[in-house]
Amino acid sequence: AFAGDVQFLKGVVAMDGLPPDDRPEVCFAGRSNVGKSSLINALTGRKGLARASNTPGRTQEINFFTLNESHYLVDLPGYGFANAPVAIVEKWQRLLKQYLSGRVSLRRAFVLIDARHGVKAVDEEIMELLDKSAVTFQAVLTKTDKLKAKDLDKILAQVREKLSKHPAAYPEIVLTSSEKGDGIPTLRAIITGLS
């Protein structure tokens, strides 16, 4: 089972706070407001597990959850706060780089993309960082319920085109709606299938 077997472990603000890298781990990255908390809550079947409102300064930490004692789920802080203080952004970016390049048990990053907006400049930045860190990443479109099929196809084509430029990108894109539950079982299966 997946739902119900997820526990919050800890929030990490520095590399020496990371839990032991003794099991496969996946992380979730995305612009603030992309629907990351909603997605993690939908995945785990637990409302309120991931905080639904992220504010700069308060959530500049890497949040670790245990999944069935077998995996870690890692919630990275949302990026793209226009008004975040420079010092906070720099501290966070340093930690993010260290984490992504140094975490041997990190099997995959999920980069969340708002289906209404497609890949934005800040999404490109995180993808480049993942390329450099040699962390395989998979794009997850969020809020697909907000689009008509025709518009979703257009965005998918744009995302595919952008992903093709990134060596670390995994080709399969996951379409999700936390609201409707679409794509949630698929994403669960991908995560539990990683060893």
Interface residues toward ligand GDP, by CB under 6 A: 30, 32-38, 52, 54, 78, 142-143, 145-146, 177-179
Query: Does residue 102 contact residue 136 with C-beta atoms inside 8 Å?
Result: no
**Which residue's CB is nearer to ligand GDP, number 35 or number 56?**
35
**Which residue's CB is nearer to ligand GDP, number 24 or number 143?**
143
Going by C-alpha positions, the residue among 185, 59, 31, 192 that lies closest to residue 116 is 31
H or E stretch at 124: helix 121-133
Task: Name the minimum Å distance from CB 182 to ligand GDP.
Answer: 8
Q: What is the Cα–Cα distance from 144 to 134, expressed in whole angstroms? A: 28
Report the 10 Å Cβ neighbour count for 80.
16
Q: What is the Cα–Cα distance from 189 to 2, expressed in whole angstroms? A: 9
**Which residue's CB is nearer to ligand GDP, number 28 or number 99?**
28
**Which residue's CB is nearer to ligand GDP, number 24 or number 81?**
81
SS3 3: coil
User: What per-residue string of b and e applies to 47-71 under the rule 16 or more CB within 10 Å gives b?
Assistant: eebbeeebebeebbbbbbbbbeeeb
**Which residue's CB is nearer to ligand GDP, number 38 or number 133?**
38
Task: Name the minimum Å distance from CB 163 to ligand GDP.
Answer: 20
Task: Name the minimum Å distance from CB 23 to ligand GDP.
Answer: 25
Task: Name the minimum Å distance from CB 48 to ligand GDP.
Answer: 11
Task: Name the minimum Å distance from CB 21 to ligand GDP.
Answer: 25
